Structure 1
């Protein structure tokens, strides 16, 4: 008998700057309940689930900035989500802005947590591939300042054994980098969970931005297929504070096939039964890493950050 897990991507429509955490969490609880009613055992929420995508603005007031970050998880506003998940016996992935104090020093991360069916946090990931800039760019109506608001994650790409499978996590821009999937696949992941907020105007070049949805599908399908993993990818979507977020949440099989995709840019749940042994099949054939990989030929990947000449 094959091993299966019913997974859901719980897409969120736009969140306004003035929306409260309480109001957002109420939406999450409604999505969690719908997913559970459709048999889901694991739900994936988007990147920065609890707030609007605030890196589109350049803020300088520390108090204004701090208001977008969580200092504890769960906190007073998010605890009802954990309690609901525990009651429904459903696990979830949640992305948020984290304000952490480590060795007496304040740090800001773009973070995701993995919560099991008992409502307990079993894994934490901090976004490694931060896109955008560390200062405002002249002539742009919408900024992309993740490097200004966050520092690169310091936890690496871990795999967590929970809920009958082995799960890795990534956030938004991570999904575009093949190293993201490969590291977790080498650690034995069977599922990779991804939350994202992706606008269709992030570069300002029409020829590039017009392919945003295609690039989203391409990166998720390639990552799933080339690493024999299920990928559950969930978006924040819709017209949010002047920015068009693409949505297109999807569940991708280890074959690279899309088995479910959101059809709106609103709050929406998509569900699929994921055959975990499908990942094993691909690892015994095309992507038998131990038999076919040649790491000596790839050393340049980890020895330099940018292009080099032979």
Structure 2
């Protein structure tokens, strides 16, 4: 295992409905070259990095929905990004809406890919924890229709050996669920990367921005420490045609500390030289999984989804 890896988080400012994928890729390329000037070897782009956050819009014509999806990766529009990454020897994470034909039907996923420094796709992840709703709501200022436009991911939480370590991927709402990180940690991940598009306004209840940002960081800082891993989270931020996404791109060390974070809601690169051995002392002591985990008592984690499924254990007390 390598001792260090310089990672960049490449935050994107807003993408309007009128902005073409070609224009977006030009922005991604500019961020890639900027990261290269900083000595970055691995760069993390946001969730749904090629388009506006379209799940905020109610659409009934499937053709209108599918224009936001990619049927091939790389494709004509994104190939320059792959070519530049290969030329510079930089790997990257990229989120996009994926349309594929599987099991004799069309399927749609919120997807991310892991690309190596040779410009080739190493791994793919499909978002598992889809937030929002599937039917139109007239009581909210915008929609959050990920449950309508995407299927639940079917690839599980994979990890891949690359960049001298083992990397796992997640997307947006996945970051809030502790199981996300623990499964990947048990599969050897020492770095987890993710992109997100998070609305500033919570349509289900009032929640001030400072609390949204606190929770955004809290879940990842706790997970980084509890799993002895680096976490790199990259936002798409700012006002997209009047709808605000909060920023908060950051790089978090295995100690749970934020070591680098964005300062704007625009296109921005933040960088940190990550010591890949930093989490060793954590995984060899307080979170030594083999020594301390008690899986015989963790059954409810996989046998029930909510409190409504609670099994009566009072007779055992």
Q: Same fold (TM over 0.5)?
A: yes
Q: Do 1:144 and 1:202's aligned partners in 2 also have CA atoms closer than 8 Å?
A: no
Q: How many residues align?
A: 310
Post-superposition offset of 1:209: 5.7
The aligned counterpart of 1:21 is: 21
Post-superposition offset of 1:62: 1.7
Provide Cα deviations, 1:159-202, integer angstroms capped at 9, x if missing partner: 10112110000000000000000000011100000100011113
Post-superposition offset of 1:210: 5.1
> Which whole-Å CA distance do the structure 2 matches of 1:63 and 1:173 have between them?
26
Q: Do 2:194 and 2:233's aligned partners in 1 also have CA atoms closer than 8 Å?
A: yes
Q: Do 1:159 and 1:169's aligned partners in 2 also have CA atoms closer than 8 Å?
A: yes
Post-superposition offset of 1:144: 0.5
Post-superposition offset of 1:120: 0.3
The aligned counterpart of 2:218 is: 218
The aligned counterpart of 2:315 is: none
**Secondary structure of 1:13's match?**
coil
> Which whole-Å CA distance do the structure 2 matches of 1:243 and 1:284 have between them?
45
> Which whole-Å CA distance do the structure 1 matches of 2:24 and 2:2 have between them?
37
Q: CA RMSD in A?
A: 1.2
Q: Do 2:247 and 2:262's aligned partners in 1 also have CA atoms closer than 8 Å?
A: yes
Confirm or deny that 1:41 pairs with 2:41: yes
1:1-310 equivalences under 5 Å are 3-207=3-207, 211-307=211-307, 308-310=310-312
Q: Do 1:203 and 1:209's aligned partners in 2 also have CA atoms closer than 8 Å?
A: no
Q: Do 2:56 and 2:145's aligned partners in 1 also have CA atoms closer than 8 Å?
A: yes
| Structure 2 runs not aligned, ≥5 long | 313-317
| Structure 1 runs not aligned, ≥5 long | none
**Secondary structure of 1:278's match?**
coil
For normalisation by structure 2, the TM-score amounts to 0.96
> Which whole-Å CA distance do the structure 1 matches of 2:209 and 2:299 have between them?
32
Post-superposition offset of 1:294: 0.3
Q: Do 1:248 and 1:261's aligned partners in 2 also have CA atoms closer than 8 Å?
A: yes
- In structure 2, relative to structure 1, the CA distance for the partners of 1:203 and 1:58 (3 Å cut) is same
For normalisation by structure 1, the TM-score amounts to 0.98
Post-superposition offset of 1:242: 2.0
Provide Cα deviations, 1:120-157, integer angstroms capped at 9, x if missing partner: 00000000000000111121121100000001000000
Q: Runs (4+) of structure 1 moved beyond 6 Å?
A: none
Q: Do 2:141 and 2:203's aligned partners in 1 also have CA atoms closer than 8 Å?
A: no
> Which whole-Å CA distance do the structure 2 matches of 1:89 and 1:2 have between them?
16
> Which whole-Å CA distance do the structure 1 matches of 2:217 and 2:207 have between them?
17
Provide Cα deviations, 1:77-121, integer angstroms capped at 9, x if missing partner: 000000000000000000000001002210000000000000000
Higher mean displacement: 56-65 or 183-192: 56-65
